[in-house]
Amino acid sequence: MNDSPGWAAPGSPSDGQGPDAAQQPPADGSAPSKWSAEQPPPGQWSSPAAGQTPPRRPQQGAGWGSYPTPPGQQPAAPYAYGNPGGGWGGPPPASKPGVIPLRPLALGEILDGAVATLRGHWRSVLSVSLVIAALSQIALLAVQRLTLDSVTVPDPGSSADPAETLRSLRDIGPLYGFEYYLEILGLVLLTALLAPVVSRAVLGQASTPGDTLKAVRPLAPRMLGLTGLLLLGSLAAGMLPVLPGILLGSASLTALGMLVSIVLLAWFYVTFALAPPALMLERGTPVAALKRSAKLVKGAWWRVFGISLLTWIMRTITSGVIVMPFAGLAGLLAPNGFSSLIDGSGARDWTVLIITGIGAVVGATVTAPMQTGVTTLLYVDQRIRREALDLELARAAGVEGYGTTGTTAPTGG
């Protein structure tokens, strides 16, 4: 029996609880699996039909397989992927039905897969991204216009005392916090909405906005529930540490609380970053998706953190380049020119807010799918590494003979 939950199967594998959790040694003599024999019911991508035995990755040596043996020659020792003693050659090429090869992914392959998804499925990706970016920016624009009149901004040329700085932080902090959490909320929703698009791109299948809507509609209530849980958790991680300093009026305690908030938010974001794709592709509950993400990230936290951070930096730079012309136009049309943008008075003008808002929508529409695509591909990569998900993907993509021979020939780009 295959110990992987499969690509389509909802929910995560059992943690070994229950009467069926007894470990039986596999017939090939390998180490017993840590997963339960109980598997969730089939979902979007069905598992093999009843009575069929799923193919296993070859167990020769430590690698993915061995090279074919030419006629008349002795079989060569299997190539150990990643083994320094495996010789000068590389591993056999992996099947690539879609935007990624069906094997554990390197950083460049994850980034390239996200870009290829955006390029090959731009209608589905950009239409969803535009709606999320526009709704987020409208909400932010309304809050900015309603709150900026009451915000006290210190004069850049004067030296403010700690009490004045704390008062300014109290005024402008909620606005920045709202902007931050609005961005997180948008990324969570966009990751969930685009997960079916990325999954089809992995299989080399076409995707349309109608296909995306059809895949998302049945899971909309669960998706909103997961978004609410993530939002509440991030609010607690970001606000509770700074609350004592704000209540006591202590600038130093507030600054310390902000440092703690940054650490907690980073831990929370990375630990549960894979929950949206887990929910959409495994079709479990919001709580199960959170547990699934924490389980997949465990032992790979720094890797997920590093790739996510690098993607965020690249996305921020690209978005800044896109927004720059709009900011220049806003400065030209501002009541007092560019000086009003520097002292903050231009942020109260509707013309400036609308122009910069349009630039922000364009920048987010183009760059946010990069971040969400990387997140979904990280989820796929972790499942390939831990559960041999590449076997399920190969079957779903129609790759013949994958996992049954010593080689896996590429089937396309």
pLDDT score recorded for residue 167: 63
| 8 Å CB contact between 293 and 272 | yes
Higher pLDDT, 239 or 144: 239
Q: Distance (Å, rounded) from C-alpha 157 to C-alpha 45?
A: 62
Indicate if the pLDDT at residue 165 is higher than 70.
no
Determine which of 36-50, 167-181, 182-196, 251-265 has the lowest per-residue pLDDT on average: 36-50
Higher pLDDT, 334 or 195: 195
Say what the pTM is: 0.72
Q: What 3-state DSSP class applies to 55?
A: coil
One-letter amino acid of 401: G
Identify the residue whose tokens are 């030209």: 332
Alpha helices in 75-219 (DSSP H): 107-120, 122-147, 162-202, 209-216
Instruction: Read off the pLDDT of each residue in 148-165 and give the average, rounded to a whole number.
Output: 57
Query: Among residues 385, 374, 230, which one has the least CA distance to residue 306?
Result: 374
| Residue ranges of domains in the chain | 107-397
Helix 209-216 to helix 162-202 angle (10° resolution) is 110
**Average pLDDT score over the chain:** 76
Indicate if the pLDDT at residue 183 is higher than 70.
yes
| DSSP annotation of 85 | G
pLDDT score recorded for residue 295: 96
Q: Distance (Å, rounded) from C-alpha 407 to C-alpha 251?
A: 63
Q: Distance (Å, rounded) from C-alpha 363 to C-alpha 321?
A: 8
Q: Distance (Å, rounded) from C-alpha 183 to C-alpha 140?
A: 10
Q: Distance (Å, rounded) from C-alpha 17 to C-alpha 1?
A: 18
Q: Distance (Å, rounded) from C-alpha 399 to C-alpha 408?
A: 9
**For residues 392, 398, 400 and 406, what is the CA-based torsion angle, rounded to 10 degrees?**
-40
Indicate if the pLDDT at residue 311 is higher than 90.
yes
